[in-house]
Structure 1
Amino acid sequence: MSSEIPAMGKMRFCAVFLFLILTICGSTNIDTISSDIKIKNVDRIIDCSSQLVKSTSKLTLENAGKVPIKNFLLAVESAAKDNLAFLGAKDSNNKELRLIETTVKGFDYIKFYRVELKDAINAGSSAVITTESVFTKSLIPYPTAITQQEDQLVKYNGNLYYFSPYYVTSQKTNVILNTKSVESFTKVKPFSQLDGTLIFGAYPNIGPFTEKELNVHFKNNSPFLTVSRIERLIEVSHWGNIAVEEKVEIEHTGAKLKGPFSRYDYQQDHHSGPASVRAYKTLLPASAADVYYRDTNGNISTSNMRVKKDSVELDLRPRYPLFGGWKTHYTLGYNVPSYEYLYHSGNEYLLKMRVIDHIFDDMQVDELVTKVILPELAHNIKVNFPYALTRLADSVHYTYLDTHGRPVISFTKKNVVENHIQDFQLRYTFPTIFMFREPLLVVASLYSLFLCVIIYVRLDFSIHKPEHPHKE
């Protein structure tokens, strides 16, 4: 009995220790709002000229406390957090700052990010930080359906004030529309309209988490193209080539087409279908070669491909124009030399390629799946992502002369925009001697075949041997 008590005590101690470890680890992403931080000034620009809403804010942070500040919080209101695709911050030296998603007790309905400063803000000092955020599907077509000849009108619903957990002394907001055709907008003095820009403020002394609805109803005939799904396949070869193939599903998510479509009017009148999409440009790597572009009906001409100094510009034209609610899908592929993306030291290899590449300007992607096919027998595979991605289960791909199959590394992400065009790093081990495995298999197969043929032609399979006449 006495021997069981110490054992039970050890178990309790281990349980308590594990609980404390989990509590500490779980609390690393819980922050508090510092009352020492104040924002002296906010200059905000909201760009609504495309299908995306891009917000750039120049913040002047002030340390009103007595100890240096090493980080601060950014907040995203509950109405906009589901549409947030990208958020970044830079200091006055244009250096990227690290952002960590976090929480604040009592504000579970708000999404927070902790911004780690490279240089602490001393007591009584200030610093200028620039933040950039991109929102998808924040411009709603209104009306939701239009005829072939009508312009597209959209509504933007946002916050008139900069949403922040800190007190803001003064702020000003410019909304860029790039059109003078504005049906209506929120009018809170002081405000003004200058060509295609709405100017709000400056507004003084705005408290933390202040919200006031900002509505703008205006004309926007920009291409409202959404990639509903893209599957990007990267096949790595150690014989000097990397093959890239993309299967793209696209939908026009603007105002739906009301009434019939007239091909005759569309071809005769270039002002017909102002909100439709006839073509768009895709940028490929400068070293891209053997480009092909096809849909379910077969190959589509790529005669509009232009080779530039730093890219290959491909003018993609679907078989039919895209109106609201219309869809299309196609396959785009090309080859690039491996020496530009694959590095090695001995048997250790490093692949640096983009998670996603350019599809069209101001693109928005609902779902991205990227698959990397490595050479057979590659092992010790490690992947580093530039931002949060979901890694899928590894699989195996078989092709010519494969016996074990080639490892396939897959990962996915939702709500992707151009800011996510960044490189991932994939490390793996592949002994150089394995490169001669498949050529040796071919040589051995041919040798075996020829050997069998030689043996076959030298064997006599006849049942009756011919009799030779006797010589007298």
Structure 2
Amino acid sequence: MPPSLPALTTPVLLLFFLLSSVSASSLPLEDGIRVVSAEKRIDLTGPIVKVFLTLKVENALAASDASQVLLAFTPTEVEHLAIVKATRAEGKRKKKTYLPLSVEASDLAATPNGARLYSVLLGTPLKPAEATTLEVLYVLTHSLEPFPAEISQSESQLVYYRDSAVLLSPYHVLEQVTYIKMPSNRIESFTRMDPTNRAGTEVKYGTYNNQVPNSYLPILVHYENNRPFAIVEELVRKVEISHWGNIQITEQYKLKHGGARHKGVFSRLSARILHLLFSLFGSKNIPAIQQMRLLNFQLTKAMGSGD
């Protein structure tokens, strides 16, 4: 005998309720938020990656007050995330002030692409139909991959950097642009997407319009970065306080270079000459740098062994 209608309805309704609860828990609390404009500036001039975001966000007319804005990071970015700071711009032009905001990891479920969410707590809730501008800074460490992994003393250090041409966000983004700043004009290659423009040491992706939530367009940049990648493996700090109130602090650092490994012969003489020429011509003088590398190569070849 087939089950009665009430017997079927109860399990179906229960299953629907459970699925609805799971779906609701994975959605942002402020689903009325949208990003009106987003500017992403990636600074690759040093050994760490600094990313500056300027986000103009707007709350929908029919939505409730928004107490937070969510930021999304890929799993790889979360592993290398050193710091996240956010401020809220208030006022106009010369009277504009920036109010520091708290940022904390969100307990909302991960997005479909596995991204982790962080909450920027607004302090003063954003009312329906209101807009505000957020300034976000986050820093990534160990995100630059040396390639080639080994270089000689006369070679430049080249690195890979991976990111997205568009802003990864749980919100609808109406307009956005991404700028990537490199330390020199020597850019071996970069992913080209329409539109993409390069001007000197900077690559621009965008403007992109009407990006759906959780959009991601992977890009790869291969460029020259001769900065030392100093890593503190161990730090020991000793504080000595005498009976007379004197304080002596001693710090011992165990450092290593996290960039490309050195191969072949190392010459202290050519290293000193390179240092002298760098101080005379400056690290941004590309023709001078090329001459230095040629001289360094000739010296190393002539000496035949380390000094």
- Please classify the TM superposition score into its range, dividing by the shorter chain length: 0.7 to 0.9
How far off its partner does 1:253 sit? 1.1
How far off its partner does 1:32 sit? 4.1
Structure 1 gap segments, 5+ residues each = 1-29, 275-472
**TM-score, normalised by the number of residues in structure 1:** 0.49
How far off its partner does 1:242 sit? 3.6
Distance 1:265 1:211, change over 3 A: same
Structure 1 CA distance for aligned equivalents of residues 191 and 105 of structure 2: 32
Q: 1:170·1:204 contact (CA, 8 Å) conserved in 2?
A: yes
Structure 1 CA distance for aligned equivalents of residues 170 and 235 of structure 2: 37
Structure 2 gap segments, 5+ residues each = 1-24, 90-96, 280-307
Distance 1:118 1:187, change over 3 A: same
Give 1:90's aligned residue: 87
Question: For residues 96-115 of structure 1, what are the structure 2 equivalents within 5 Å?
Answer: 96-107=100-111, 109-115=114-120
Give 1:47's aligned residue: 43
**Cα shift readout 1:80-136 (whole Å, capped 9, x = no counterpart):** 110111111111032210112122235494322221112221111100001100000
Residue identity opposite 1:167 in structure 2: H
Structure 2 CA distance for aligned equivalents of residues 115 and 31 of structure 1: 17
Residue identity opposite 1:249 in structure 2: K
Select 2:63's aligned residue among 61, 66, 71. Answer: 66
Question: For residues 187-226 of structure 1, what are the structure 2 equivalents within 5 Å?
Answer: 187-226=192-231
Give 2:155's aligned residue: 150
Q: 2:41·2:53 contact (CA, 8 Å) conserved in 1?
A: yes
1:203 match: secondary structure: strand
2:99 match: secondary structure: coil
Q: 1:31·1:102 contact (CA, 8 Å) conserved in 2?
A: no
Select the structure of larger CA radius of gyration.
1
Give 1:121's aligned residue: 126
Give 2:74's aligned residue: 77
1:266 match: secondary structure: helix
Residue identity opposite 1:86 in structure 2: I
1:265 match: secondary structure: helix
**TM-score, normalised by the number of residues in structure 2:** 0.74
Structure 2 CA distance for aligned equivalents of residues 257 and 81 of structure 1: 30
Residue identity opposite 1:61 in structure 2: V
Residue identity opposite 2:228 in structure 1: P
| Higher-helix-fraction structure | 2
Q: Considering only aligned residues, what root-mean-square deviation do their CA atoms show, in Å?
A: 2.3
Q: Which has the higher contact order (CA 8 A, sep 6+)?
A: 2
Structure 2 CA distance for aligned equivalents of residues 98 and 106 of structure 1: 21
Residue identity opposite 1:49 in structure 2: T
How many residues align structurally?
A: 245
Question: For residues 32-431 of structure 1, what are the structure 2 equivalents within 5 Å?
Answer: 32-33=27-28, 34-64=30-60, 65-92=62-89, 93-107=97-111, 109-235=114-240, 240-270=245-275
Q: 1:192·1:199 contact (CA, 8 Å) conserved in 2?
A: yes
Percent identity over the alignment is 29
Q: 1:148·1:272 contact (CA, 8 Å) conserved in 2?
A: no
1:35 match: secondary structure: coil
